[in-house]
Amino acid sequence: MKKYWFSLIGVSLLLLTACGQSSDTPSEETKNGSTNSSTTQVTGAEAIAKQNCTRCHGGNLQGSYGPNLQQIGAKYNKEQLLGVLNNGIGSMGPQKQLNDAQKEELATWLAEKK
């Protein structure tokens, strides 16, 4: 019976920490255009993926809780990947923590993975 409860708790924790449910708030622009020093804006598709995707898709995007993304470009093109990032798919929700430029960069990078 204990194993059942531990399994149930483990699954619940996984669901609560699903992809894209980051508690970090994005940095906000100040009036003079500089960024808030307490948070950093992630740039570069690999850096964006490392910060936002590896929790569910694995450190090398090999798949974990979420599917393998190492050859995702063979299945989806850039526009389709943008749709996934904007609207979610399956248990992955919309990636609201990413701005449009980050989504565009990430979708382009992932579409090249064939």
pLDDT digits (tens, 9 = 90+) for 57-69: 999 999 999 999 9
* Coil, strand or helix at 113: coil
Is the predicted pLDDT of residue 15 greater than 50, yes or no? no
Q: What is the pLDDT of residue 39?
A: 41
Average pLDDT over residues 84-110: 97
Q: Is residue 65 part of a domain?
A: yes
Q: Is residue 85 part of a domain?
A: yes
pTM over 0.85? The answer is: no
Q: What value, to the nearest 5°, has the Cα angle with vertex 93 and ends 60 and 51?
A: 35
- In the DSSP assignment, the letter for residue 62 is S
**Domain CATH for 74:** 1.10.760.10
Q: Which structural domain, as residue segments, surrounds residue 51? A: 43-114
If one counts the domains in the chain, the total is 1
* Coil, strand or helix at 55: helix
Q: Is residue 36 part of a domain?
A: no
Nearest one of 8, 43, 10, 9 to 26, comparing CA atoms: 43
Q: Is residue 30 part of a domain?
A: no
